[in-house]
Amino acid sequence: MLTIACPNCGERGVDEYRFGGELPTVPDSVTDPGERNVDYLWFFDNVAGPSTERWFHDGGCRRWFTVQRDTLSDRIIGDRIING
């Protein structure tokens, strides 16, 4: 099972956390403001590899933080919290 080191509570299993989504990036090729909004709302990068994403420690300190996760192996990359 995926384990995540919460900056406040330490290493816990993924069932304590809620996935908050990857930090969305809209490609530069999308220039129309309306289209950018549609992309932001509906579309996903769905990265295969390192993905920077938000997690919420639902079953612990109930705080948001940002980590990098490898979506190919479903493991957190490094122990560095990018943004507490």
Partner 1 sequence: MNEFVETILSLQWQDPKPTYDVVIVGGGGHGLSAAYHLAARHGITNVAVLEANYIGSGNSGRNTTIIRSNYGIPESVRFYQHSVDLYNQLETETGCWIMHATKGLMWLVHTETGMRAERARSLVNTACGTETVMISPEEAKALCPQLDLSGGGRYPVRGGSYHPGGATARHDRVVWAYAQGAMQRGVHVHQHTPVIDLLRDGDRVTGVITPNGPISAGMVMSAVGGKVTQLAAMAGVRLPVRTHPLQAFVTNGYAQGLGPIVSSTELLTYVSQTARGQLLMGAEFEPQPTYSMQTSFQTLANVSSKVAYLLPFTRNLRVLRQWTGICDVSADFSPIMGGTGVDGFCITTGWGTWGFKAIPAGGEQMAQYIATGDTPPLIAPFALSRFAADHPMADQGSTGTR
Contact residues toward partner 1 (CB under 8 A) are 1-2, 13-15, 18-19, 27, 29, 35, 38-39, 41-46, 48, 69, 71-74
For residue 80, give both structure tokens: 């560095």
- C-alpha separations of 23 from 4, 12, 77 in Å: 18, 22, 16
Q: Which is closer to partner 1, CB of 18 or CB of 81?
A: 18
Of the candidates 49, 27, 48, 51, the one whose C-alpha atom is nearest the C-alpha of residue 39 is: 27
Minimum separation from the CB atom of position 71 to partner 1 (A): 5
User: Least separation, in Å, of the C-beta of 51 and partner 1?
Assistant: 8
